[in-house]
Amino acid sequence: MSYALQTLLHERQRYASGVLAVTFSAVLIALQCGLLLGLFKITSIPIDQTEGRGNSADVWVGSTGVPSVDLGKPIPTSYLTRIAGRPGVGMPELYIANFGNFTKPAGGTELCFLLGTLLDPDSLGAADVLTPELRAALTEPFTIVVDESDVNRLRLDHPYGKPKINGKEVKLVGTVKGLRSLAAPWVFCSLHTARQLLGFLLPPDHVTYLIARCDSPARARAVAKELREQYPDDMTAYTAQEFSTESRVYWLLRTRAGIALGYAALLGLFVGAVITAQTMYSATVASAKEFAILLALGIPRWRIAVMVLTQSFWVGLIGIALAYPICLGLREAVRAKIDVDLRGEILAGTAGVAILMALMAGTWALRSVRRIEPMDLLR
C-alpha cells in the first residue's frame, strides 16, 4: 500500500470532508445528467418502444429537416416507392404521429399525441407493449389505448362523460405500462382511427412517417444516407437510432435544460472543488513538519508533491466509490415515478470529472508544499 493511501486511511477524519465533497459533487452531476437523460428519453419513446426497442435496422422517413419525432409534417404516401425495392430493405410501413386536442370526459382539454400504426404482430411502428388483445381491440374505429400513468391526467377514469379527440368521440379499450409522457400523453390507435381523428389536419394520401426494416444496422445506415442524398429537398431519412438521438438532443437544447444542467453541475463541482482543495490544503499543512524533515534530508520536493497528488487521487476515487451506490440507490427509490438513466457513459464521465476535480484540488494544495521550509524546524 502506498504511503499516500496509508496516510489517508490512518487520518480518515481529516480527509473525510474532502471525500464527502467529491461524493456530493459526483452524486449531483450523475443524477442531474441521469435525470435529464431519463426525461428526454421520453421524447423518443415512439421510436424506441417499437419492435426490438428502436431497432437499429429500421429506417425512418419524414418531412424535410424534421428535428424530432413529434414534429413531423405530413408527407405523401407515394414516397413509399422511393424506399421500396431497394436491396436489403423490407416493405415500408405507414405511420401517423400528430398532436391532437383531447377533451376530458369531465370537461377541459389537454394536448395529446396520436400514434397511429399498423397493428399486425410484426408491425414495425406499433409499441411493443401493445398486446395482441389490445391490438385486436384497437382495430375497431375510434378506440384508443393510453399509458396507465396518463389515465388520471386525461380523466379517463371518469364514470360518465365521453372523451373526445379533435371533437370526435373516442373509446378507451385498455392501458399499457411504462410509456410515460412529458408534455402530451401518448395516445395509441390504428392508422385508420388516427386518420379519422386528424381529419383535414392530415391531407388524403399523406402520412407522417414511413418506416422500413433493413437487413442489418449497417444496411440501415447506408439506406438512410442514400435517401438523404437522393431526396434532400422534400424528405429526411434517419436510422431509428439516429432519429431517437436527434429527438432527444433537440428537446435537450430547445428547452435549455442542458444549459440549466450545466450551471447546476458546475456549481456542484465548484463547491466540491473548494471543499476538497481546503481539505487537501489543511492536511498538507498538518504534515508540514514531517515533510520539512524530508526536505532537510535532501529528499526532493517533487516527491512530496507526488504524495499529495496521489492522496488527492485517492480522495477522488473513494469519493466516487461512495457516490455510485448512493446514485443507484436514489435511482431505485424514484424508479416508480421518474426514470433516471445512469448509463455507463454517465457513470464513467462522472468518475472522470470527480477525479479530475480532486486532482485539481490537490494541485491547488501544492502551494502549501512550496512554502514548507526545513528551517521552520529550528525555531
Where does this chain bind another protein (CB under 8 A)? 3, 6-7, 9-11, 287, 289-290, 292-300, 303, 374-375, 377-379
In angstroms, give the least distance from the CB of 11 to another protein. Answer: 6
Tell me whether residue 106 or residue 299 sits nearer to another protein (CB atom). 299
In angstroms, give the least distance from the CB of 372 to another protein. Answer: 12
φ, ψ for residue 204, nearest 5 deg: -60, 150
Look at residues 221, 178, 188, 218 and name the one whose alpha carbon lies nearest to residue 95: 188
Tell me whether residue 235 or residue 315 sits nearer to another protein (CB atom). 315
In angstroms, give the least distance from the CB of 312 to another protein. Answer: 16
Tell me whether residue 217 or residue 374 sits nearer to another protein (CB atom). 374
In angstroms, give the least distance from the CB of 303 to another protein. Answer: 5
Residue 264 grid coordinates: 447546476
Tell me whether residue 275 or residue 288 sits nearer to another protein (CB atom). 288
In angstroms, give the least distance from the CB of 14 to another protein. Answer: 10
In angstroms, give the least distance from the CB of 21 to another protein. Answer: 21
Distance, CA of 110 to CA of 104 (rounded, Å): 7
Tell me whether residue 273 or residue 295 sits nearer to another protein (CB atom). 295
SS3 per residue for 132-152: HHHHHHHCCCCEEEEEHHHHC
In angstroms, give the least distance from the CB of 273 to another protein. Answer: 25
Distance, CA of 166 to CA of 101 (rounded, Å): 5
Tell me whether residue 141 or residue 374 sits nearer to another protein (CB atom). 374
Three-class DSSP category at 39 = helix
Q: H/E element holding 217?
A: helix 217-230
CB-side exposure of 225: number of CA atoms within 13 Å?
Answer: 6
In angstroms, give the least distance from the CB of 369 to another protein. Answer: 14
Tell me whether residue 9 or residue 183 sits nearer to another protein (CB atom). 9
Look at residues 15, 24, 8, 17 and name the one whose alpha carbon lies nearest to residue 270: 24
Distance, CA of 152 to CA of 158 (rounded, Å): 9
Distance, CA of 7 to CA of 179 (rounded, Å): 51
SS3 per residue for 244-304: HHHHHHHHHHHCCHHHHHHHHHHHHHHHHHHHHHHHHHHHHHHCHHHHHHHHHCCCCHHHH
Tell me whether residue 18 or residue 72 sits nearer to another protein (CB atom). 18
